């Protein structure tokens, strides 16, 4: 029985060594984050990845997953705002729901993930940029001529956090292309 386990253990050790050789050093994470708009936010985000042996692709996947979770939480917030807002606010939040929902940011973040899986790193960049556009259209309006909605809710704060996460994805996609 021991002889049967020995090859299995060997394969595991080889896999472990191979997977750790692709890990991103902290110095490279700092270099990546220095190119974002909020380097300290980026460092906290990337260092919160539970995989200490993460590759650049793993970090990007993790960051896309964080963005998706934040978009999903924002959709929940928008539903709550629709349920409790006045008619003017409800109208704005319904438009935001379209921009964040399955035809907007949620769809585009899923497409970002798909592009990463296909190793189309330019596609990752373009898809993440589309998510930013979806968010901007909610917060500032679809057109420059739209009057901005004065939003006292937490929605602008949620959107700002998502934008910060997207900024990290955009920078990661640049590193993936090189």
Q: What pLDDT sits at residue 142?
A: 75
In a domain, 6, yes or no: no
Question: Residue 164: pLDDT above 50?
Answer: yes
Query: What pLDDT does residue 36 have?
Result: 98
Segment 22-49 shows an average pLDDT of 94
Please give the DSSP secondary-structure letter assigned to residue 37: S
Distance CA 78, CA 92 (A): 10
State which residues form the domain around 56: 24-177
Mean model confidence pLDDT for the chain? 88
| 101 in a structural domain | yes
- The reported pLDDT for the residue numbered 149 is 86
With respect to residue 9, please indicate whether it lies within any of the assigned structural domains: no
Which tokens belong to 157? Answer: 């704060």
pLDDT exceeds 50 at position 117: yes
How many helices, marked H, and strands, marked E, lie in the chain?
A: 8, 0
**For residue 91, is it within any domain?**
yes
Name the domain count of the chain.
Answer: 1
What is the CATH classification number for the domain harbouring 102? 1.20.140.40
Q: What angle do CA 54, 55, 57 make, to 5 degrees?
A: 115
Q: Which two tokens stand for residue 18?
A: 């191979």
Is the confidence at residue 1, as pLDDT, over 60? Answer: no
Do the domain assignments include residue 7? Answer: no
Note the pLDDT tens digit of each residue in 120-160.
999 999 999 999 999 999 998 877 777 788 899 999 999 99
Q: Is position 14 within any domain?
A: no
| 2 to 8, 11, 113: CA distances (angstroms) | 10, 15, 42
In this prediction the pTM is: 0.85
Say if 12 falls within a structural domain. Answer: no
Assigned domain for 17 exists:
no
Whole-number Å distance between alpha carbons of 60 and 46: 9
More confident residue, 5 or 79: 79
For range 6-16, the mean pLDDT: 39
Reported as type and span, the H/E element at residue 82 is: helix 56-84
Please give the share of the chain, as a percent, with pLDDT higher than 90.
77
Ranked by mean pLDDT, which of 32-41, 86-95, 140-149 comes out on top? 32-41
Q: How many CB atoms lie within 10 A of CB 39?
A: 14
pLDDT in tens, 46-85: 999 999 899 999 999 999 999 999 999 999 999 999 999 8
């Amino acid at each position: 029985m021991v002889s049967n386990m020995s090859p299995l253990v060997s394969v595991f050790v080889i896999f472990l060594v191979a997977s750790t050789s692709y890990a991103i050093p902290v110095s490279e994470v700092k270099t990546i984050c220095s190119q974002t708009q909020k380097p300290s936010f980026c460092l906290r985000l990337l260092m919160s990845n539970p995989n200490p042996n993460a590759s650049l692709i793993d970090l990007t996947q993790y960051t896309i997953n964080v963005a998706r979770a934040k978009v999903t939480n924002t959709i929940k917030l928008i539903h709550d705002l629709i349920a409790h807002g006045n008619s003017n606010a409800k109208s704005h939040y319904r438009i935001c729901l379209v921009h964040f929902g399955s035809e907007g940011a949620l769809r585009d973040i899923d497409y970002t993930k798909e592009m990463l899986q296909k190793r189309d790193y330019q596609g990752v960049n373009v898809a993440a940029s589309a998510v930013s556009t979806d968010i901007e259209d909610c917060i500032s309006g679809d057109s420059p001529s739209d009057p901005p909605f004065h939003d006292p809710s937490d929605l602008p704060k949620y959107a700002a956090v998502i934008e910060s996460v997207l900024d990290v994805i955009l920078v990661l996609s640049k590193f993936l292309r090189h």
